[in-house]
């Protein structure tokens, strides 16, 4: 499953961490860990920021985290008009690291910074080409 | 040897579909030359253009600008640091003069934001963050600042009304600036009642994409007196970068590149925040100005909302900020903005700012942020 299938519109079809998409299709949220110093990364990184080592292994993330911030996008960029308005959340993951994605099925009034959330791997079913993503949901 | 500004020019910001990019550049360049005494165009030995190239149909701007302004065969090049490209160009000119490689440098900040269609612009702006892990979910420029705003409100209790008061102030001063795009005051109710862009930010929380150009001519201490009786010196410079991705930032309540850049600038100038008498800060969104008060040390961390509520950033307050209307009312032609800020501080320190004059101002500051904080340039000016 090439990385080009990750995201509604993908801008980076090639990357050293392209196995991320394979795992995501199997329902696994994966980060990377430096083989040398053990530093963990989400979003994944091929090259260690700390020790500059370029060998890494994949480690599974639970998807559990807390909501760090959010916004509801009304003026959407090209390629996203059809789903606007949509709510984006930034999640601090339990194992460290952060991600940004759409908040799914949580009413606006219930969205609170600091609330526990769960990140769930998903596949778009409503568009013809296969697209992988993840959503932020009630934990 | 000190480096300073001896000539300034500022074009009208707005919908400039009447002019090409080089025609826009010509306006402030000619004004800046006329603003000096006896400086001949052929005395200028380099031209630095501050601009973000991907907004223009014309490729390689310094080429077309050098030709149209009559600067050939002098050295010409581009500096780019997103919305901070103009200040990056001024920093580059400072380095060129300080090193002795060039004596007199013209800096032109320029941008035509309206050459591309709205869908094209929105697509470009959507890619201001990390395109691999963020843009794929439809992030936007105001969306990122909305993430800062919500987190700031959560951590410090900053209110929606306090954030909106930045727009009220900057439109009040924009009404006094003939070069501003918006020259009308707005009420708090109007700001809060405007259309949603990215919750909690509304239309009046956002600066407008406009066309525009501004120019400064810089030289060293030895030559300056030949060209002006009122030189304005750049006595502190700071520049820093921060993570492209908000996912890797230490927090979402400050711009770390600004905190680092201003530390350098204060140290070089040998001053402290309370010495600043007039400031131009990067208010691309209202929340950005509130974070700037804090990041520049004008008020304690988390007290930016209170600072505007108490009118401390109005003329007559502790530190008058954006008394030319800021990006909010002037409009934000990205490459021109940093140079525009410098022209306002020069006017203020010369005592030529008319109705917006901060009485007796001798020390001024510009704070120009690129992107969503990836770059920040701070300059401190003295007369």
Burial call B129-143: b when 16+ CB within 10 Å, e when fewer: bbbbbbbbbbbbbbb
pTM of the prediction?
Answer: 0.97
Q: What is the pLDDT confidence band of residue A133, given thresholds at 50, 70 and 90?
A: very high
**Rounded to whole angstroms, how far apart are CA atoms B202 and B115?**
25
Give every CB contact of residue B265 below 8 A, 6+ residues apart in sequence: B236, B237, B238, B365, B378, B379, B380
User: Taking the mean position of all CA atoms in its chain, how far away is CA A119?
Assistant: 8
Write out residues 96-135 of A within 8 Å (CB-CB) of B: 97-102, 113-114, 133
Residue B247, pLDDT score: 96
Contact of B188 with chain A, judged by CB distance below 8 Å, is answered with no
For B296-311, the pLDDT digits (tens) are: 999 999 999 999 999 9
Spatial separation of the C-alpha atoms in residues B46 and A45, rounded to whole Å: 41
Q: How high is the pLDDT of residue B105?
A: 98
pLDDT in the model for residue A127: 72
Residue A12 and residue A18: Cα distance in Å, rounded? Answer: 10
Q: Domain of A82: which CATH number?
A: 2.40.50.840
Task: Establish if B139 touches chain A: CB-CB under 8 angstroms.
Answer: yes
3-state helix, strand, coil in chain B (%, to 5): 40, 20, 40
Give the burial class of A110: count Cβ atoms within 10 A of its Cβ; 0-12 exposed, 13-18 middle, 19 or more buried. Answer: exposed
CB contact under 8 A, A71 and B135: no
What is the nearest CA distance from A103 to chain B, expressed in angstroms? 11
d(CA B47, CA B92): 11
- At the topology level of CATH, where does B3-117+209-227 sit? Peroxisomal Thiolase; Chain A, domain 1 (3.40.47)
Contact of B222 with chain A, judged by CB distance below 8 Å, is answered with no
Res B120: pLDDT: 78
- Does any CB of chain B come closer than 8 Å to the CB of residue A139? no
> For chain A, what is the domain count?
1
pLDDT tens, position by position, B53-112: 999 999 999 999 999 999 999 999 999 999 999 999 999 999 999 999 999 999 999 999
Q: Over 90: is that where the pLDDT of B37 sits?
A: yes
pLDDT in tens, A15-58: 999 999 999 999 999 999 999 999 999 999 999 999 999 999 99
Q: Give me the pLDDT at residue B68, please.
A: 98
Separation of alpha carbons B284 and B329, rounded Å: 10
pLDDT for the residue numbered A125: 76
Mean pLDDT calculated for residue range A108-114? 98
Q: What is the predicted pLDDT for the residue at B47?
A: 98
Q: Catalytic site residue B154?
A: no
State how far residue B253 is from chain A, nearest Cα, in angstroms.
10
Tokens of B18: 């009447």
- The answer to whether the Cα torsion of A68, B244, B335, B313 is positive or negative is positive
Q: Do A72 and B196 touch (CB under 8 A)?
A: yes
pLDDT per position as a tens digit, B316-334? 999 999 999 999 999 999 9
Smallest CA–CA separation between B96 and chain A, in Å? 33
Q: What was the pLDDT predicted at B284?
A: 97
Per residue in B333-380, pLDDT (tens digit) is 999 999 999 999 999 999 999 999 999 999 999 999 999 999 999 999
For residue A77, the chain B residues in CB contact (below 8 A) are: 122-123, 125-126, 135, 138-140
Cβ neighbours around B68 below 10 Å, total = 17
- Which is nearest to B169 in space by CA: B307, B48, B343? B307
Q: For chain B, what percent of residues have pLDDT higher than 90?
A: 95
A70 part of contact set with chain B, CB < 8 Å: yes
Residue B271's pLDDT is 98
Question: CB of B168 within 8 Å of any CB in chain A?
Answer: no
The reported pLDDT for the residue numbered B123 is: 75
Chain B positions in Cβ-Cβ contact with residue A100 (cut-off 8 Å): 133-134, 137, 139, 246-247
pLDDT for the residue numbered B118: 73
Q: Nearest CA to B7 among B151, B160, B223, B204?
A: B223
Is B83 tagged catalytic?
yes
The parent domain of residue A40 ranges over 3-138
Structure tokens at B108: 């032109």
């Amino acid at each position: 499953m090439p990385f080009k299938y990750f995201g509604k519109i993908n801008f980076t079809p090639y990357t050293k961490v392209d196995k991320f998409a394979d795992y995501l299709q199997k329902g696994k949220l994966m980060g990377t860990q430096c083989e040398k110093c053990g530093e963990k990364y989400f979003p994944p990184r091929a090259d260690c920021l700390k020790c500059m080592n370029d060998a890494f292994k994949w480690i599974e993330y639970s998807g559990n985290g807390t909501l760090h911030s959010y916004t509801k996008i009304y003026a959407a960029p090209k390629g996203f008009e059809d789903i606007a308005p949509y709510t984006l959340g930034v999640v601090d993951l339990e194992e460290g690291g952060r991600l940004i994605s759409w908040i799914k099925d949580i009413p606006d009034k219930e969205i609170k910074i600091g609330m526990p959330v769960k990140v769930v791997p998903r596949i778009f079913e409503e568009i013809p080409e296969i697209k992988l993503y993840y959503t932020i949901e009630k934990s | 040897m000190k480096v300073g500004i001896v000539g300034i020019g500022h074009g009208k910001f707005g919908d400039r579909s009447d002019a090409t990019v080089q025609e826009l550049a010509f306006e402030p360049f000619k004004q800046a030359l006329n603003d000096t005494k006896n400086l001949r165009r052929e005395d200028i030995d380099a031209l630095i253009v501050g601009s973000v190239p991907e907004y223009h149909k014309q490729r390689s701007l310094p080429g077309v600008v050098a030709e149209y302004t009559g600067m050939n065969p002098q050295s010409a090049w581009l500096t780019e640091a997103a919305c901070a490209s103009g200040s990056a160009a001024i920093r580059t000119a400072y380095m060129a003069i300080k090193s002795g490689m060039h004596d007199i440098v013209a800096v032109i900040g320029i941008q035509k934001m309206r050459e591309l269609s709205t869908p094209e612009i929105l697509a470009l702006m959507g890619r201001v963050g990390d395109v691999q892990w963020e843009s794929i979910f439809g992030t936007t420029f105001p969306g990122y600042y909305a993430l800062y705003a919500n987190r700031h409100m959560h951590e410090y209790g900053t209110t929606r009304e306090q954030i909106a008061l930045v727009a009220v102030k900057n439109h009040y001063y924009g009404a006094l600036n003939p070069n501003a795009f918006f020259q009308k005051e707005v009420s708090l109710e109007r700001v809060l009642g405007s259309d949603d862009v990215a919750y909690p930010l509304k239309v009046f929380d956002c600066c407008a994409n406009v066309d525009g150009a501004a120019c400064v001519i810089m030289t060293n201490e030895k030559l300056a007196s030949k060209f002006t009786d009122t030189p304005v010196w750049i006595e502190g410079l700071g520049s820093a970068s921060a993570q492209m991705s908000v996912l890797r930032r230490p927090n979402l309540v400050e711009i770390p590149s600004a905190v680092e850049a201003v530390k350098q600038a204060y140290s070089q100038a040998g001053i402290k925040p309370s010495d600043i008498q007039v400031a131009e800060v990067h208010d691309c969104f209202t929340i950005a100005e509130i974070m700037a008060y804090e990041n520049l040390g004008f008020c304690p961390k988390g007290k930016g909302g209170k600072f505007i509520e108490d009118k401390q950033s109005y003329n007559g307050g502790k530190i008058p900020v954006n008394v030319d209307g800021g990006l909010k009312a002037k409009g934000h032609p990205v490459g021109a903005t940093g140079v525009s800020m410098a022209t306002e501080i020069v006017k203020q320190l010369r005592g030529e700012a008319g109705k917006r004059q901060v009485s007796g101002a001798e020390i001024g500051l510009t704070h120009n942020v690129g992107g969503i904080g990836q770059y920040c340039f701070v300059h401190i000016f003295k007369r």
